[in-house]
């Protein structure tokens, strides 16, 4: 028999990376919050790669931290190995990545939720959801308990209608042997949410003792470890090695001989898979000319012998998986602990969402993470943070937070989802941002800490540390502009050794820093009064000096973009706009952009349509 259990202000369904950040944000902003999870022991689980960060994803984690989220702190506390990717390229694409102890990370996040004021963590499967006549939301558990809340955040990950595929075998299930949330999937469709089927997969896990490391390339961590969190008190240490191996022609042949047994190619899987993280059988087919594919062998934790085979996700039958694994150098005698699988799941069409992540047609209902059509822990956590903030803002009657594309990768991620939608699981990449020189991981705190402080997620202590850092940057910026290097044999010897032209007269040190071959560190002997400041201060000043012209150009582009963002399109009937093409009317009516800037990024809306809108708004 159903019974009323409790009322909250915010209910979060799911305790993965999106649900964690959503629950913490709303609770820390003073809202009574309950986070529901199917299994309490898998809070913050990493069913795929036990890593945080990576290309562009590291940017997201640092932005989450700058706004007052938890993922960066949790990653720093559970790091096994840390590296910055793309160091051979410019600072816009430098991306921090850390291999994580998956079980200790999960325990950290579970304990964080348990200790959070205003938050309750409950193990229960939500099987039904409905909106009441007074606007309140009601959820029902499998045990027939009824809970109500003013706002509900759906952060269901890959559990919603989840189905596992391994060759000819398929069954209902969530990741890592969990239950699928089938009843909730039906309830959301009955509610009227526009859902679709996506697919993702995960590789095998193998026993360390069965790997021949003598034939593998070692991949160590960085000497200077950079934490994710700007508040990190104890810098993480590199305690584990990762390794690299490669597939070969034998691997390829085993897969091609058994391709007909793959549910991906036999038509048994309907869901659309991730474009930028394909299975090994998909890579073999799509990149037929490649002789080999790189495989990373990475630890899953400090207290387990499980190792993760990044790059080898598959839905082929178990016997085929064993056969192709044993063709790979280092894995000839491998012992598989967990078989690779594909998982198909329900998610929502993100065009049904506002930029606040609240549904257009369901006030008080928010979506976050893979439920919104994205992939990846970092993308999920970023959306969870924004959904949690905005649920709290709605309850408190405050303006909701919308980050624009020039402010953050988080803003780019959400804008892409809600204006362009996604035909396959969305993955963040640096190339998705037109302002990536401004949106570096090193300046995430400069871009977002003030926003987090004004919202109420950044503490006074963190804010004061940030202000002190900004003072040091400004002081160093002023100092370095006035430092000159006199002409000398020593400076010219250095310049020639660095393959850059020698001086004919003395010059300002800023002019030397602008040269690609030089930097602050190299020129230290010629800067006699250089102060003792944190590395991050010099890093910011150096980037500003080196890329001054490019940064100025991008800032001008941002000003133009924001000029369009302030032109509101709320409550516009596009049928009344004379001169607007039929396709544009249909797309604008479906997406319902908040402003002209957002409208300009909708597929099918042309520059001519934007001109028509601007004329219409001017007349109106």
Domain ranges of the chain: 3-197+345-454, 205-344, 482-549, 566-619
Q: CA torsion angle for 88, 89, 95, 96 (degrees, to 10)?
A: 20
Q: Residue 583 above 70 pLDDT?
A: yes
pLDDT (0 to 100) of residue 381: 98
pLDDT (0 to 100) of residue 134: 94
pLDDT (0 to 100) of residue 111: 98
The Cα 214–Cα 121 span in angstroms is: 46
Mean pLDDT value across residues 203-232 = 96
Per residue in 303-314, is it b (16+ CB within 10 Å) or e — as a string? ebbbbbbbbbbb
Mean pLDDT value across residues 482-502 = 92
Helix (H, G, I), strand (E, B) or coil at 26: helix
The Cα 32–Cα 41 span in angstroms is: 23
Mean pLDDT value across residues 461-468 = 96
pLDDT (0 to 100) of residue 274: 64
Report the interhelical angle of 102-115 vs 17-28 (nearest 10°).
20
Q: Residue 223 above 70 pLDDT?
A: yes
| CATH, range 566-619 | 1.10.150.570
Q: Residue 116 above 70 pLDDT?
A: yes
Arithmetic mean of pLDDT over the chain? 94
Mean pLDDT value across residues 204-227 = 96
Please check whether residue 72 is in contact with residue 59, taking contact to mean a CB–CB distance below 8 angstroms.
no
What's the topology of domain 482-549? Arc Repressor Mutant, subunit A (1.10.10)
Mind listing the pLDDT tens digit for each residue in 14-73? Answer: 999 999 999 999 999 999 999 999 999 999 999 999 999 999 999 999 999 999 999 999
Mind listing the pLDDT tens digit for each residue in 276-326? Answer: 678 899 899 888 899 999 999 999 999 999 999 999 999 999 999 999 999
Instruction: Give the residue carrying structure tokens 């593998």.
Output: 216
What's the topology of domain 3-197+345-454? FAD/NAD(P)-binding domain (3.50.50)
Least confident stretch, 23-27, 271-275, 347-351, 594-598: 271-275
DSSP strands (E only) in 224-319:
242-246, 294-299, 306-310
Top CATH class, 205-344: mainly beta
Please check whether residue 231 is in contact with residue 73, taking contact to mean a CB–CB distance below 8 angstroms.
yes
């Amino acid at each position: 028999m159903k019974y009323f259990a409790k009322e909250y202000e915010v209910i979060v369904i799911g305790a993965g990376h999106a649900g964690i950040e959503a629950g913490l944000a709303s609770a820390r902003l003073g809202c009574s919050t309950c986070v529901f999870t199917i299994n309490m022991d898998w809070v913050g689980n990493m069913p795929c790669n036990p890593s945080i960060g990576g290309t562009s994803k590291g940017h997201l984690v640092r932005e989450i931290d700058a706004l007052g989220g938890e993922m960066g702190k949790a990653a720093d506390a559970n790091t096994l190995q840390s590296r910055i990717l793309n160091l051979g390229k410019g600072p816009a694409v430098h991306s921090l990545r850390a291999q994580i102890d998956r079980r200790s990370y999960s325990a950290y996040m579970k304990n964080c939720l348990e200790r959070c004021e205003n938050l309750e963590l409950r193990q229960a499967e939500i099987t039904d959801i409905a909106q009441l006549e007074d606007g309140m939301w009601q959820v029902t558990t499998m045990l027939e308990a009824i809970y109500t809340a003013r706002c509900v955040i759906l952060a269901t990950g890959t559990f919603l209608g989840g189905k596992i595929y391994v060759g000819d075998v398929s069954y209902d299930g969530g990741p890592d042997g969990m239950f699928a949330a089938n009843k909730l999937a039906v309830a959301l469709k009955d509610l009227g949410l526009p859902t679709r089927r996506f697919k993702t997969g995960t590789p095998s896990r193998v026993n360390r003792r069965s790997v021949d490391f003598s034939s593998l390339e070692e991949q160590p961590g960085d000497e200077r470890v950079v934490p994710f969190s700007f508040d990190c008190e104890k810098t993480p240490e590199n305690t584990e090695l990762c390794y690299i191996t490669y597939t070969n022609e034998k691997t390829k042949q085993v897969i091609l001989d058994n391709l007909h047994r793959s549910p991906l190619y036999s038509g048994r899987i309907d869901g659309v898979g991730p474009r930028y993280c394909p299975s090994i059988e998909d890579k073999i087919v799509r990149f037929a000319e490649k002789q080999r594919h790189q495989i990373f062998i990475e630890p899953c934790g400090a207290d387990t012998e499980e190792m993760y085979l990044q790059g080898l996700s598959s839905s082929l039958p178990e016997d085929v998986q064993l056969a192709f694994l044993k063709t790979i150098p280092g894995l000839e005698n491998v012992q598989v602990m967990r078989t690779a699988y594909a998982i198909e799941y329900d998610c929502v069409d993100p065009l049904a969402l506002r930029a606040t992540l609240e549904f257009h047609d369901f006030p008080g209902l928010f979506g976050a993470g893979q439920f919104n059509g994205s992939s990846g822990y970092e993308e999920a956590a970023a959306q969870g943070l924004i959904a949690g903030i905005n649920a709290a803002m709605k309850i408190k009657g405050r303006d909701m937070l919308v980050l624009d594309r020039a402010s953050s990768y988080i803003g780019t991620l959400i804008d892409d989802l809600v204006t362009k939608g996604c035909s396959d699981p969305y993955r963040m990449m640096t190339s998705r941002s037109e302002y990536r020189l401004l949106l570096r991981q090193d300046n995430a705190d400069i871009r977002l800490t003030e926003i987090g402080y004004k919202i109420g997620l950044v503490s006074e202590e963190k804010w004061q540390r940030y202000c002190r850092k900004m003072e040091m940057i400004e002081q160093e910026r002023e100092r370095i502009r006035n430092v000159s290097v006199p002409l000398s044999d020593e400076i010219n010897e250095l310049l020639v050794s660095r393959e850059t032209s020698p001086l004919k007269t003395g010059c300002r040190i800023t002019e030397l820093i602008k040269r690609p071959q030089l930097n602050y560190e190299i020129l230290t002997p010629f800067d006699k009064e250089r102060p003792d400041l944190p590395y991050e201060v010099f890093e910011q000043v150096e980037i500003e000096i080196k890329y001054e012209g490019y940064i100025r150009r991008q800032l001008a582009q941002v000003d133009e973009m924001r000029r369009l963002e302030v032109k509101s399109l709320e409550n516009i009937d596009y049928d009344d706009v004379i001169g607007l093409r039929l396709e544009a009317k249909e797309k604008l009516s479906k997406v319902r952009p908040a402003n002209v800037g957002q409208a300009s990024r909708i597929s099918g809306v042309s520059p001519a349509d934007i001109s028509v809108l601007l004329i219409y708004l001017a007349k109106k």
